């Protein structure tokens, strides 16, 4: 299970990085297209870049929190299994 938690974390982290990069590139495209369009594209691009970075940071914190919860749950399961194993050994004596 520990390996699965790590794999899911790495996949989610790659998706996070990809999403932030695409958001920054999209915002940059909006800023560049402001030359042809107008002033509203500049604000849209800047806001897209800022919210992409802030959203990425919040998603990263949520991802870390979920990984910690998953690892703690896994450790709790291990403790219960060890407790059950020790109880069976004690009853067998």
Residue 25 pLDDT more than 90? yes
Residue 40 pLDDT more than 70? no
Q: How is residue 10 annotated by DSSP?
A: H
Whether 74 and 1 have beta carbons less than 8 Å apart is answered as yes
Mean pLDDT across 20-47: 82
Domain ranges for the chain, please list them. Answer: 12-92
Distance CA 91, CA 84 (A): 11
According to the model, what pLDDT value does residue 33 have? Answer: 79
What token pair was written down for 14? 């790659």
According to the model, what pLDDT value does residue 38 have? Answer: 66
* Per-residue pLDDT tens digits for 56-68: 999 999 999 999 9
Distance CA 32, CA 91 (A): 74
Whether 41 and 29 have beta carbons less than 8 Å apart is answered as no
* Per-residue pLDDT tens digits for 43-57: 888 899 999 999 999
* pTM assigned to the model: 0.77
According to the model, what pLDDT value does residue 66 have? Answer: 95
């Amino acid at each position: 299970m520990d390996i699965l938690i790590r794999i899911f974390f790495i996949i989610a982290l790659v998706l996070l990085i990809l999403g932030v990069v695409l958001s920054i590139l999209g915002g940059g495209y909006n800023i560049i297209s402001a030359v042809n369009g107008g002033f509203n594209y500049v604000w849209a691009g800047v806001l897209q870049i800022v919210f992409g970075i802030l959203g990425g940071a919040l998603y990263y914190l949520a991802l870390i929190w979920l990984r910690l919860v998953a690892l703690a749950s896994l450790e709790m399961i291990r403790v219960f299994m060890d407790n059950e194993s020790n109880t069976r050994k004690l009853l067998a004596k």
